Structure 1
Amino acid sequence: MVYRSLSLVVSVFAAVSFVQGQSNDSQTSLTLDQTVLSTAFEHENAGGPNNFTPSTTSSNNFINWCETTGLPLTNGTQVKTGSCNPAPMGAIPSQDKIPTSKFSSPTNFAELCQNTTFTITLEIANLASGWSADVFQNFYAAPQQLEADTGLIRGHAHFYIDPIQAYNSTTPVDPLGFVFAGLASAKAVDGKLSSNVTGGLPVGVYRLASVIASENHQPVLAPLAAHASIDDII
């Protein structure tokens, strides 16, 4: 009888310890921690002087929201037919650490030799560059993160070149009609990110654009709605 009682006490203690250990590990728990519950998500805030549309609302941080869309999960991949991504937006930098960028090569209206390799160079400020997750298996698969010692967004740059009809063209481009898509994933050198366009381009008129992205390739998020342009286009 004594042995049974002792065994029962040990079992109960082990069970309590297991539950406590489980509840303390918030990064593996499937239960929403009350300390990260955003009550602002519960309010539509429609109308007002800006005639805002009603926001979609949630009382549980949208943790199961993708279930309402009927779409497959993004799940780290580039889903061409559309998907829903459950990863949270993540860490947002302070206003003095919003990234900005400017192309230094080529310059606006530059004339390049046809079918000749050239280098795209982007001057970058306020970005912890050199962070680029697997674009095929970890696409949009984690929140935006900040570098611990600087508070800067961990990320990289994407470059895109699209053909356009003329310098003064006002026609939106075909989203899949690009002629170059490059990834500047290495750490910036002297504040510059770069990528080679091997073989150059045929004769034509083109626009070049940058997208400053977080580590998992989502466009970076800033703490303010009004700020200088983060990306550049020429």
Structure 2
Amino acid sequence: MSLLRKSIIIATILAAYIAIVVFATDANIGNNVCDVSKKDLFNGTQNPNGECVTTVMGEIPSKNKMVSTVILFPIETTKLKAFQQFTIRTKTINLKTGFFDDPVKQYYIFPQTLDNKGFIQGHSHVTVQRVLNRFAPLDPQKFDFFKGLNDPADGKGELTALVEKGLPAGNYRLCTMVSSFAHQPTLMPVAQRGAQDDCVRFTVAK
């Protein structure tokens, strides 16, 4: 095959790829996405069928005020007894906690906001899921415990959730989900960064 022919083929492939990417993107870009979307327009409720949200992103913190979280208890070496009550403990930096709107009527309805020191105003959640297959993604619709951490952090900067009835025996994954005031994931100023959430795996024995 001649060099010219190879060049024409490569150029054609690149042009087709660029056209696909551009047109696929242009169909739903900018603030007009909900004008062309087939999803219902959001109204502040949690729609299990999906929806199109027009709320703007809002205020983004500077990179030296990005959110980061650690789970203090349980940790990877923790072995709890089945149905034993325990308290989940987490700590998040650069988050002004205690900002939590009504998830029934105000879900995603407000943009992200910062306090007068430039920290995101929001809250956190914890979710516990049973791990049946270590190498398979967990079903996001199934969880064994979920709790919104709505109150301001305590004097140590910690947020807690009481698992009053404990858990059945098994292997589990515990994750945090840090959110802005209206429950959307916290928005950061740069893509290359550490994660704002934490996950651990622990065991509950019989």
* 1:213–1:108 CA distance, 2 compared to 1 (3 A): same
Structure-2 separation of matches of 1:117 and 1:75: 38
Q: Does the alignment pair 1:69 with 2:41?
A: no
**Higher relative strand content:** 2
Q: Does the alignment pair 1:221 with 2:187?
A: yes
The aligned residue for residue 119 of structure 2 is 152
Structure-1 separation of matches of 2:44 and 2:25: 24
Supply the RMSD in Å over aligned alpha carbons.
1.9
The aligned residue for residue 56 of structure 1 is 25
Matched positions, count: 179
The aligned residue for residue 193 of structure 1 is 159
Q: Does the alignment pair 1:162 with 2:129?
A: yes
Structure-2 separation of matches of 1:164 and 1:176: 13
Secondary structure, counterpart of 1:154 in structure 2: strand
Render the CA deviation track for 1:14-71: whole Å, top value 9, x for unaligned.
xxxxxxxxxxxxxxxxxxxxxxxxxxxxxxxxx9xxx9x548359x951x42121121
Q: Equivalent pairs: percent with the same residue?
A: 33
Pairing partner for 1:132 from 96, 100, 112: 100
Structure-1 separation of matches of 2:26 and 2:124: 33
TM-score normalized with structure 1 length: 0.72
Structure-2 separation of matches of 1:61 and 1:178: 35
Which ranges of 4 or more aligned residues in structure 1 deviate by more than 2 Å?
53-58
- Compare CA radii of gyration and give the structure with the larger one: 1
Q: Does the alignment pair 1:176 with 2:141?
A: yes
The aligned residue for residue 3 of structure 2 is none
| Highest RCO, 1 vs 2 (Cα 8 Å, sep ≥ 6) | 2
Secondary structure, counterpart of 1:101 in structure 2: strand
Render the CA deviation track for 1:159-216: whole Å, top value 9, x for unaligned.
11111026xx110111111111111010011111111112010011100000110000
Matches within 5 A, 1:26-105: 53-54=21-22, 56-57=25-26, 61-62=30-31, 64-105=32-73
Secondary structure, counterpart of 2:52 in structure 1: coil
Give the letter for the 2:148 counterpart.
Answer: L
Secondary structure, counterpart of 2:185 in structure 1: coil
Render the CA deviation track for 1:63-97: whole Å, top value 9, x for unaligned.
x4212112112211110111111101110000000
* 1:57–1:93 CA distance, 2 compared to 1 (3 A): farther
Structure 1: tracts of 5 or more residues without a match: 1-46
The aligned residue for residue 117 of structure 1 is 85
Deviation, 1:155, is: 0.5
The aligned residue for residue 18 of structure 1 is none
The aligned residue for residue 5 of structure 1 is none
Q: Does the alignment pair 1:209 with 2:175?
A: yes
